[in-house]
Structure formats: structure tokens, C-alpha cells
Amino acid sequence: MAVSLRRARVIIRKALEKGREMQLKPLSVVVLDAGGHVIAFEREDGAAPGRFGIAQGKAYGAVMLGMAGTAQMARAEAQAYFMAAVNGVYGGKVIPVPGGVLVRDKKGAVIGAVGVTGDTSDNDAIAAMAGIEAAGLAGEI
């Protein structure tokens, strides 16, 4: 199973809706496939133009490490040298904070990741989960 474009669009739409419901700052949302390639991206009006790179970095780290943003942050705090080495391997593309959410199929296999940025990292993760669940998939914060 893979994240289809149709599901990616649902994820983005519902994540943005959740952000508006929570009165968050303007969000940017990216959906990646299991290989770290962009399926879809949207940036709300008023979101900073550099948010694509942040959303992608959150999702990219999650999918490439098989480790959601919260776990990456804990690992970075405990072993900063490990995350520095990982970022060296991946060309500085990994942003190890909440808001990078793994997407799993019903059997638990990683099929992609969602990156949300714009508000606090914890709120970004909540918005990402709302989108993933609306698409009928499982997320790991």
C-alpha cells in the first residue's frame, strides 16, 4: 500500500481544517511517500515562504529513520552526535521535532510521512494526526 494522491489531498485538507479549528498560525503541510518523495504540499495564506523546507525536513526525518518527530527529538536530546551524524548523511534535511508524523498501513508498515509546520511543534503534530486519521490511515507522533 502507498499513500495515494487522493489520500494525500485529504490529509492536507483535514490538517489545515484542524489548524483553523484550533486557531493556529497559518500552516504548511507536506505528504511524502515511503521513499521520502513529495506527493503533495500546501501552504496557507500568511504562512512564511520558508515553511516548505521545514515541513519537508520534519516528514523526511520521520520516513527515512522510521522514527516519528517526537522520538527523533528525544534521541537528539539524549545523543546529539547521532542526530548530527544523521543530518550529515541526509544532507542537513532532517528536522528532529514533533510535527513529523509517520504514516502506517493497517499492518503497521511505514507507507509515508506527513510534515506540518507553522505553529508550535506539538500543535503541528495534532493537525497532522487529524489529517492522517481523516484519510483512514494510522499515524505515529
Q: Could you read off the pLDDT of 78-95 as tens digits, one per residue?
A: 999 999 999 999 999 999
Cα–Cα dist 69/74, whole Å:
9
Q: Could you read off the pLDDT of 29-70 as tens digits, one per residue?
A: 999 999 999 999 999 999 999 999 999 999 999 999 999 999
Helices marked H in the chain: 5-21, 51-65, 69-78, 80-89, 121-134
Averaged pLDDT of the chain: 97
Cα–Cα dist 110/104, whole Å:
4
pTM greater than 0.95:
yes
- Pairing state between β 138-140 and 110-117: unpaired
> What is the domain partition of the chain in residue ranges?
5-140
pLDDT of residue 1: 83
Residues 6+ apart with CB under 8 A from 72: 61, 62, 65, 83, 94, 96, 97, 100
Q: Please name the fold of domain 5-140.
A: Beta-Lactamase (3.30.450)
